[in-house]
Amino acid sequence: MRVLVTGGAGFIGSALVRGLVEAGHEVMVLDDLSTGSRLNLEEVPVRLIEGDVRDPGTVRDAADGAEVVFHLAALPSVARSLADPIRSHAVNVDGTLNVLIAARDRGVRRLVYTSSSSVYGDTPSLPKQEGMPVQPRSPYAAAKLAGEAYCRAFAASFDLETVSLRPFNVFGPRQDPESQYAAVIPRFATRMLAGQRPEVSGDGRQTRDFTFVDNMVEALILAAGAGPEAAGEVLNVGCGARTSLLDLVAALNGIIGTELAPEFVDPRPGDVRDSEASVEKAGRLIGYRPTVDVREGLARTVSWLSGRLTPEGLRR
């Protein structure tokens, strides 16, 4: 099968590309390399098209001949969207619309869209279920929700099947710990491997459903091959369990062999307090079941990072 992965040089995208190539698929990647890296695709036999999803012509050309499109290209991070909401909208909403139009016009069978658990906001009900009200608290979350709405509309209006996935706090190898918008696990692990105390925002009792990247890759591939009952649907992807930031520090101390106490800093604007996924719907519609738990995922991530950290920074 010939597929297009937008954002395929990024953290999740490159893991997906590797999984697709290993399964024997022909893979094209569209990425502007603003947050992704060519090094993430080193020695992977794919065709990389360097381009921006905000350019309709580039997207249309990249989608030519694809049977399935995995749309992961995005400008990630709540904090980044707060700093520049216009750019966040342009990439995450206008870019998604461009990809949908190109997929429709090129006769793509199915488009799998990567949304975000941030669309739920800070609603107190747990676990988060797809039918509950959404309350985005940041421009990033609002943009991801708009992308879901466009996917649902295209599935209803055109001959294009779409499936939207809401991942919960994905982590794993190739996630950049050096960006100012780095996610919590690579940020904590990198500091602790260097013997430094992890910086915990707020009181550290906030919880997340941390999801190892292999689980997300499995969900993406399952969504592409699922039956018509999945078309137009929105599905959570997580592990169905919560881990507090303090428990995360304790787990990393155990894996690394350190006894580093957290250093508390101010809470981050736009963050939610607690998050946990219900994955019942994804199990029913696409057969998703998480296969790598948080502890095993942390151990694999630490192993990858420890082999690449140098005094000068991260070696890819």
The pLDDT tens digits for 128-161 are 999 999 999 999 999 999 999 999 999 999 989 9
Q: Which residues contact 39 (CB under 8 A, 6 or more apart)?
A: 316
Catalytic residue among 113, 140, 150, 288: 140
Angle at 28 (CA atoms; ends 27, 34), nearest 5 degrees: 130
Active site residue 140: yes
Are residues 240 and 277 in contact, defined by beta-carbon separation less than 8 angstroms? Answer: yes
| Confidence bin at 310 (pLDDT 50/70/90) | low
CATH topology of domain 176-208+241-275+292-314: UDP-galactose 4-epimerase; domain 1 (3.90.25)
CA separation for the pair 296, 283 (Å, rounded): 21
β-bridge mates for residue 233, sequence order: 163
Phi-psi region of 26 (alpha: psi -120 to 50; beta: other; left: phi over 0): beta
**What share of the chain has pLDDT > 90, as a percent?**
90
Comparing CA positions, the residue from 258, 241, 232 lying closest to residue 297 is 241
Tell me the per-residue pLDDT of 74-99, one tens digit each, with 9 for 90 and over.
Answer: 999 888 999 999 999 999 999 999 99
Q: β-strand 309-310 against 313-314: which pairing, if any? A: antiparallel
Q: pTM here?
A: 0.95
CATH architecture of 2-170+213-237: 3-Layer(aba) Sandwich (3.40)
Query: Where in the sequence of the chain do the CATH 3.40.50.720 domains occur?
Result: 2-170+213-237
Are residues 122 and 80 in contact, defined by beta-carbon separation less than 8 angstroms? Answer: no
Tell me the per-residue pLDDT of 199-252, one tens digit each, with 9 for 90 and over.
Answer: 999 999 999 999 999 999 999 999 999 999 999 999 999 999 999 999 999 999
Residue listed under structure tokens 């996917």: 151
Write down the pLDDT at residue 272.
81
Query: Where in the sequence of the chain do the CATH 3.90.25.10 domains occur?
Result: 176-208+241-275+292-314
Which helix H or strand E contains 310, and what residues bound it?
strand 309-310
Indicate the residue type of 311.
Answer: P
Are residues 19 and 223 in contact, defined by beta-carbon separation less than 8 angstroms? Answer: no
